[in-house]
Amino acid sequence: MPAAWSTETGENIAWRLPLPGPAGASPVVWGDKIFLTSAEGSDLALICVNTAGKELWKQSVSGGNRMARGRDENAEGNSASPSPSTDGKHVWTMMGTGHLACYDFSGKEIWKLDLQERYGKFQIQFGMTSTPVLDGDRLYLQLIHSGGGRVIALDKANGNEVWAVKRESDARAECEHSYASPIMYRDNERAYLITHGADYAIAHDLADGRELWRCGGLNGGRRGYNNTLRFVASPVAVPGLIVVPTAKNGPVVAIDPKSGGNVTETPLWIFPSNTPDVPSPTVHDGIVYLAREQGTLITLDAKTGEKLYEERIHSSDHRASPLFADGKLYMSARDGTVNVIKGGRNFEKLAKNSFGEALTASPAVSEGTIYFRTFKALYAVRQK
């Protein structure tokens, strides 16, 4: 994968496809097809593009798009924020309106449902941005807001409920809102779902949703309880390690996946401050990469939590999660700047690139190509 490219000269830019509106959702790639969501005026659409940069089809999933914190390029987000998922035959997409739909690869609708009709109105300040997790024959969702926290498993074939459990929490005020996404932990011995929000990270049994462990202490401590400490960044899991971010300069907590019960007092390690507030952590080759929202990169030893280095990369808001690919870390800023850092325990900046367009979506990589979704277009970046 290239470290450098240019939209002015076309260097290492395979193609650019204009899009009908903004979104912060990551593109999803399967074979020669790319799926991504987009606002289109008041509509919310799922788009299928091929890897040559041609739009194949577009389906309107829902109306009622809602902008968050501004309008157009000045907005922090909209209702097209959850990313789609695919298994190679079908694609599933959820919008912030609560409409969840399944399509086949030709764009034919298989089923659609309204989560707010089924599970109650969302009471969340900036909209439901959580991305469902597709695993096996199920879709797993976390709906954590002031109307009550729920964790849900649905049959991917028809949207029918497999199980739904109440997610207990003593969070209050805006802390009841979670913009994070659930993640799956899996190794050779165990597999479970992790939900994140309302002051806790909680593991759930895949069979029935029962709680396996929970980690609290993510809000409070010496700073006192923060009524606005809502979680946006999602945890990350690799075999043998789960890294849990918080928000607003709070701690980062590492959890042993073999844990059970209340693990608040028994983490592997705690990095006491400087959590990424919006970008999720990245873990590779024994290193935890924390891209802070104001453009600082912090690296930690994955075993001990010891800080390896801290460097200010770019003075702009960072909303996208960093991507590690081909030995390099790609950090995307909201102003369209992408800095490329050499992976490893010592800091080395390889390149600085700019799309010149607002960018909040995390990039995706497939077959030597990196796909960047700006508010205006989808770009394919590959070595020429």
Token readout for 111 is 């089923």
pLDDT for position 68: 79
CA nearest neighbour of 187 among 117, 239, 116: 239
Contacts of 71 (CB under 8 A, 6+ apart): none
Query: For the chain, what percent of residues have pLDDT higher than 70?
Result: 98
For the stretch 89-108, pLDDT in tens is 999 999 999 999 999 999 99
pLDDT at position 76, please? 75
Q: DSSP string spanning 247-289?
A: STT--EEEE-TT--EE-TT--SEEE-S---SSSPPEEETTEEE
Name the band, by pLDDT with cuts 50, 70 and 90, for residue 66.
confident
318 closest CA partner among 284, 343, 341 = 341
The pLDDT of residue 222:
67
User: Does residue 65 or residue 205 have the better pLDDT?
Assistant: 205
Q: Flag whether the pTM goes above 0.95.
A: yes
Q: Is the pLDDT of residue 216 over 80?
A: yes
Residue range 311-318: mean pLDDT, rounded: 96
**DSSP assignment string, 218-258:** SS-GGG---TT--B-SPPEEETTEEEE--STT--EEEE-TT
pLDDT, one tens digit per residue, over 331-365 is 999 999 999 999 999 999 999 999 999 999 999 99
Note the pLDDT tens digit of each residue in 237-268. 999 999 999 999 999 999 999 999 999 999 99
Q: For residue range 27-53, list pLDDT tens digits in order.
A: 999 999 999 999 999 999 999 999 999
Which residue from 216, 166, 213, 168 is spatially nearest to 193, judged by alpha carbons? 213
Mean pLDDT of the chain: 96
Side-chain-side CA neighbours of 249 within 13 Å: the count stands at: 4
DSSP secondary structure, 56-97, as one string: EEEEEEES----BSSSGGG-SB-TT-SPPEE-SSEEEEE-TT
pLDDT digits (tens, 9 = 90+) for 185-200: 999 999 999 999 999 9
* CA pair distance 318, 292, nearest whole angstrom: 7
CA within 13 Å, CB half, 203: 26
Q: Is 261 exposed, middle or buried (0-12, 13-18, 19+ CB in 10 A)?
A: exposed
- How far is the C-alpha of 145 from the C-alpha of 202, rounded, in Å? 15
Which residue in 129, 266, 261, 242 sits closest to 193, CA to CA? Answer: 242
Strand partners for 154? 139, 161
Quote the CA–CA distance of 238 and 281 in Å, as a whole number.
Answer: 11
Q: What is the DSSP letter of 118?
A: H
Can you give the pLDDT at residue 75?
A: 72
> Cα–Cα distance between 75 and 83 in angstroms, integer?
18
Model pLDDT, residue 73: 63
The number of helix segments (H) and strand segments (E) in the chain equals 1, 33
Residue ranges in the chain assigned as alpha helix (H):
115-119
Q: What's the CA gap between 384 and 382, in Å, rounded?
A: 6
Query: Phi/psi zone of residue 255: left (φ > 0), alpha (ψ -120 to 50 degrees), beta?
Result: beta
Is the pLDDT confidence value at 72 over 70? Answer: no
| Average pLDDT score over residue span 113-134 | 97
Query: How far apart are the C-alpha atoms of 375 and 20, rounded to whole Å?
Result: 9
pLDDT at residue 69 greater than cutoff 80: no
DSSP structure class, residue 216: -
In percent, how much of the chain has pLDDT > 90?
Answer: 95
- Return the pLDDT at 77: 81
Q: How far apart are CA 37 and CA 44, in angstroms?
A: 7
Return the pLDDT at 344.
Answer: 98
Q: What is the mean pLDDT of residues 309-319?
A: 96
Asked if 170 and 156 touch (Cβ cutoff 8 Å), the reply is no
